[in-house]
């Protein structure tokens, strides 16, 4: 079987396709790995990449997309920071006859013809995996089990779906109780700041931290230790992504569960661009497959992690 890299390079096209890619930001290790993966894959496949980093601003993303239309790129890929507000610009792109691929997070649009395909993880499933773990971890009890939640960017698909997935998975357990839930924007700094506040307000009633990404978790671990509690023991910590640093904390026993979210979407995206360029059709939804990691698998997973 061919390695994905060779497979990407092997199909020759009449000319180099140009891909305009609007990346939502550089807020996390996941995002950096995602950007690298796409840049790398484009290079290998001889696709010219016009790249823009929108620094978590939808306005900047819309500007970037408009610029790609002006440049007359062949395909536009968007990793949208939030779900809503995309219809007008997507209609402009459609009018210009440029196909759009949505990557990573999703857009909430009534008209499905505004994009060709959405490539990325099933964030709802990730939330469910996190919730199922908690249900198994804590036997049913009378006293409430206090959960605090660090949410990702407000209105973003992973934050919405990871929140819902977890809630659905623990729905039958009345002993789980949300003590607090706040947006910490997927960053280390905010994660620490908000966790500090949770601890000041709820202290030892906190039994579980559910964090929507590893960066916020790393910040929160510092806050927990500074407060004088032991993460992984006093507070059960569940996180999403699976970066090298998080796996390290998992192997040290400071995190209890890492739900994987795969950032390496470059090969998938570039394949899609090539298919579109050739005039082929694509499935509307392409989902990446993912795992969960516990403390016993942490060390071996770490060895192969590049991000
Ligand atoms: O989990 C987080 C990043 O959209 C899946 O965004 C992505 C999320 C990822 O900032 O680390």
* Structure confidence at residue 104 as a pLDDT band (50, 70, 90): very high
Q: Does position 13 have pLDDT exceeding 90, yes or no?
A: no
| Average pLDDT of the segment spanning 110-126 | 97
* Probe residue for ligand 1, chosen from 184, 261, 287 as the CB with the greatest number of ligand atoms within 8 Å: 261
Q: Does position 4 have pLDDT exceeding 80, yes or no?
A: no
pLDDT digits (tens, 9 = 90+) for 233-246: 999 999 999 999 99
| Average pLDDT of the segment spanning 2-25 | 74
Query: How remote is the CA of residue 241 from the centroid of ligand 1, in Å?
Result: 7
pLDDT of residue 2: 47
| Average pLDDT of the segment spanning 54-68 | 98
Q: Does position 115 have pLDDT exceeding 70, yes or no?
A: yes
pLDDT of residue 1: 40
Query: How remote is the CA of residue 279 from the centroid of ligand 1, in Å?
Result: 31
Q: Does position 74 have pLDDT exceeding 50, yes or no?
A: yes
| Average pLDDT of the segment spanning 7-33 | 85
Query: How remote is the CA of residue 11 from the centroid of ligand 1, in Å?
Result: 31
What ipTM was estimated for this complex? Answer: 0.99
Closest by Cα among 218, 84, 221 to 153: 84
Least confident interval from 24-38, 207-221, 289-303: 289-303
Rounded Cα gap, residues 177 and 171, in angstroms: 10
**Residue 182 backbone dihedrals phi, psi, to 5 degrees:** -145, 155
| Average pLDDT of the segment spanning 63-75 | 98
Query: Pseudo-torsion of CA 78, 83, 87, 90, nearest 10°?
Result: 0
pLDDT of residue 225: 98
Which atom of ligand 1 approaches the CA of 214 most closely?
11
Produce one character per residue of 119-137: b if its CB has 16 or more CB atoms within 10 Å, e if not. bbbbbbebbbbbbbbbeee
pLDDT of residue 10: 52
Query: How remote is the CA of residue 26 from the centroid of ligand 1, in Å?
Result: 10
The DSSP line for 78-99 is: E--SSSSS-HHHHHHHHHTT--
Q: Does position 282 have pLDDT exceeding 50, yes or no?
A: yes
Rounded Cα gap, residues 256 and 158, in angstroms: 20
| Cβ–Cβ < 8 Å for 213, 241 | yes
Ligand 1 environment, Cβ below 6 A: 27-28, 30-31, 104-105, 158, 186, 213, 215, 240-241, 261
- Note the pTM of the prediction, 2 decimals: 0.94
pLDDT digits (tens, 9 = 90+) for 132-160: 999 999 999 999 999 999 999 999 999 99
Query: How remote is the CA of residue 213 from the centroid of ligand 1, in Å?
Result: 6
């Amino acid at each position: 079987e061919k390695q994905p890299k060779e497979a990407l390079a092997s199909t020759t096209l009449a000319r180099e396709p140009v891909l305009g890619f609007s990346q939502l930001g550089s807020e996390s290790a996941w995002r950096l790995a995602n950007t690298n993966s796409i840049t790398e894959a484009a290079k290998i496949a001889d696709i010219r990449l016009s790249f823009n980093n929108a620094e978590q601003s939808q306005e900047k993303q819309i500007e970037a997309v408009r610029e790609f239309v002006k440049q007359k790129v062949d395909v536009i890929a968007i990793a949208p920071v939030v779900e809503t507000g995309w219809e007008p610009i997507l209609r402009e792109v459609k009018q210009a006859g440029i196909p759009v691929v949505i990557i990573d997070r999703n857009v909430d649009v009534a008209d499905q013809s505004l994009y060709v395909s959405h490539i990325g993880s099933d964030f709802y499933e990730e939330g469910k995996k996190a919730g199922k773990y908690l249900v198994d971890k804590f036997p049913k009890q009378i006293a409430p089990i206090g959960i605090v939640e660090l949410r990702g960017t407000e209105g973003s698909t992973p934050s919405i779906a990871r929140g819902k997935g977890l809630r659905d998975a623990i729905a039958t357990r009345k002993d789980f109780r949300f003590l607090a839930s706040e947006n910490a924007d997927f960053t280390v700094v905010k994660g620490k700041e908000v966790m500090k506040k949770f601890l000041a307000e709820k202290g030892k009633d906190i039994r579980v931290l559910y964090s929507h990404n590893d960066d916020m978790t790393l910040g929160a671990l510092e806050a927990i230790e500074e407060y004088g509690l032991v993460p992984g023991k006093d507070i059960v910590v569940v996180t999403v992504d699976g970066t090298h640093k998080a796996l390290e904390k998992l192997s040290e026993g400071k995190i209890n569960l890492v739900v994987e979210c795969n950032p390496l979407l470059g090969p998938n995206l570039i394949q899609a661009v090539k298919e579109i360029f050739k005039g082929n059709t694509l499935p509307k939804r392409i989902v990446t497959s993912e795992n969960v990691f516990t403390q016993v698998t942490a060390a071996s997973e770490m060895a192969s992690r590049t991000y």
